[in-house]
């Protein structure tokens, strides 16, 4: 019961202090909001890049093997079975010559060609989906060794593209982690110093609290609660601004760079909101805890 009363007192003190020191509170909110805007922007960019990369990754993680016209059907089934048995293969689909022609003919852009061709010059194909992008090179090598593969154009493997994709993906992950680390350190330092300034203005109050028998946690509590409050307000502000600009930005981007598979993703909004609110609360709490520590020590 006493603990609850102390917590309530800490919460009410935090609320009062937030409004009584409005100028410092606003400064703290603005600096945290700015940091969270940067973090949120990098999260959104990361998500957008992830979307683009996923789309390309999906495309290149499917290898199409062209089958030479004279290959006996049992040999095709046998090779299909071999592929299906591999742990690095997710799925295998056999596309007959007729299916391939139907698909080709269904594309309106190919109408003129269809009228000019005789018979079916298109090869039957085996479509192989792999679990990981780096597995595709092995499947490609296997397909090229198979006697049934079309000699002129055995697969649609785009070696350089896949390698570059993998390299880009790795670099983006490293850059993202680096940026996140820099942002985290910078934000803790900024928040800590902002809150330390606020605490410095109230050092007499803290001194008095200690002299009348308040415990370190009783003194620290209101500051930590105030830090959480500041962080959550800043996160809400940052989130509002990001959400207001996210969709217009994506629409503008798509209009300019229509070939990139970038789309507004409403499912990402709750994830972003949760990340920013948790980060804001954590930043405020850690910044206050560290900022107030020197003054609170009995």
Partner 1 sequence: MLIAPEFDSRPVISFQQVWKTYPNGTDALRNICFTVPEGDYVFLVGASGAGKSSLIRLLIREEKPTRGRLFVRGQELGSLHRRQLPHFRRQVGLVFQDFKLLPRMTVHENVAFPLHALGESGRVIAHQVGAALETVGLAAMERSYPDELSGGEQQRVAIARALIHRPRLFIADEPTGNLDPATAWEIMQIIAHINATGVTVVMATHNREIVDVMRRRVVAMEHGQIVRDDRRGKYDEAYPAAALRR
* Shortest Å distance, C-beta 31 to partner 1: 24
Q: Tell which one of 23, 85, 211, 255 touches partner 1 (CB under 8 A).
A: 211
Our finding on whether 22 is near partner 1 (CB under 8 A) is no
Our finding on whether 99 is near partner 1 (CB under 8 A) is no
Our finding on whether 203 is near partner 1 (CB under 8 A) is no
Q: Tell which one of 84, 181, 215, 274 touches partner 1 (CB under 8 A).
A: 215
* Shortest Å distance, C-beta 297 to partner 1: 8
94 pairs with which residues across the strands?
A: 126
Our finding on whether 210 is near partner 1 (CB under 8 A) is yes
Our finding on whether 151 is near partner 1 (CB under 8 A) is no
Query: SS3 for 67?
Result: strand
Q: Tell which one of 3, 23, 85, 255 touches partner 1 (CB under 8 A).
A: 3
Q: Give the C-alpha separation, 4 to 134, whole Å.
A: 56
Cβ-based neighbour number of residue 64 at 10 Å: 18
> How many residues line the site for partner 1 (CB under 8 A)?
24
* Shortest Å distance, C-beta 215 to partner 1: 5
Our finding on whether 15 is near partner 1 (CB under 8 A) is no
Our finding on whether 106 is near partner 1 (CB under 8 A) is no
Our finding on whether 11 is near partner 1 (CB under 8 A) is no
Task: Scan residues 121-150 and list those touching partner 1 (CB under 8 A).
Answer: none
Alpha-carbon distances, residue 16 vs 9, 13, 223, 295 (angstroms): 10, 5, 11, 20
Our finding on whether 205 is near partner 1 (CB under 8 A) is yes
DSSP assignment string, 170-201:
HHHHHHHHHHHHHHHHHHHHHHHHHHHHHHHH
Token pair for residue 165? Answer: 């994709």
Complex with partner 1: residue 13 or 158, whichever CB lies closer: 13
Alpha-carbon distances, residue 151 vs 7, 36, 37, 69, 76 (angstroms): 77, 56, 55, 10, 15
Q: Give the C-alpha separation, 277 to 236, whole Å.
A: 7
Our finding on whether 24 is near partner 1 (CB under 8 A) is no
**Burial class of residue 216 (count of CB atoms within 10 Å of its CB; 0-12, 13-18, 19+):** middle
Q: Tell which one of 213, 256, 259, 267 touches partner 1 (CB under 8 A).
A: 213
Token pair for residue 295? Answer: 């003054």
Complex with partner 1: residue 5 or 267, whichever CB lies closer: 5
Q: Are 168 and 52 in contact (CB under 8 A)?
A: no
Footprint of partner 1 on this chain (CB under 8 A)?
A: 1-6, 9, 16, 20, 204-205, 207-216, 218, 297-298
């Amino acid at each position: 019961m006493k603990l609850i009363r102390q917590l309530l007192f800490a919460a009410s003190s935090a609320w009062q202090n937030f409004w009584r020191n409005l100028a410092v509170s606003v400064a703290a909110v603005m600096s945290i909001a700015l940091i969270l805007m940067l973090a949120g922007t990098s999260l959104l960019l990361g998500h957008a890049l992830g979307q683009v990369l996923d789309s390309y990754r999906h495309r290149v993680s499917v290898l199409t093997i062209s089958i030479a016209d004279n290959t006996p059907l049992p040999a095709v089934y046998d090779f299909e079975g071999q592929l299906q048995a591999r742990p690095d293969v997710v799925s295998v689909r056999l596309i007959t010559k007729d299916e391939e022609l139907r698909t080709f003919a269904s594309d309106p852009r190919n109408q003129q060609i269809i009228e000019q061709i005789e018979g079916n010059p298109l090869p039957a194909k085996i479509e192989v989906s792999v679990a990981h992008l780096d597995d595709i090179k092995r499947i490609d090598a296997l397909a090229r060794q198979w006697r049934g593969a079309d000699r002129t154009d055995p697969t649609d493997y785009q070696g350089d593209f896949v390698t570059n994709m993998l390299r880009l993906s790795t670099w983006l992950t490293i850059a993202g982690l680096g940026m996140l680390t820099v942002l985290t350190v910078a934000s803790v330092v900024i928040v800590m110093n902002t809150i330390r300034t606020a605490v410095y203005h109230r050092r007499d109050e803290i001194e008095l609290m200690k002299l009348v028998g308040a415990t370190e946690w009783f003194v620290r509590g209101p500051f930590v609660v105030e830090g959480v409050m500041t962080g959550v307000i800043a996160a809400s502000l940052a989130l509002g601004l990001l959400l207001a600009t996210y969709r217009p930005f994506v629409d503008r981007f798509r209009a300019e760079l229509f070939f990139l598979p970038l789309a507004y993703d409403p499912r990402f909004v709750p994830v972003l909101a949760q990340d920013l609110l948790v980060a804001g609360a954590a930043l405020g709490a850690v910044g206050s805890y560290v900022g107030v520590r020197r003054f609170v020590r009995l």
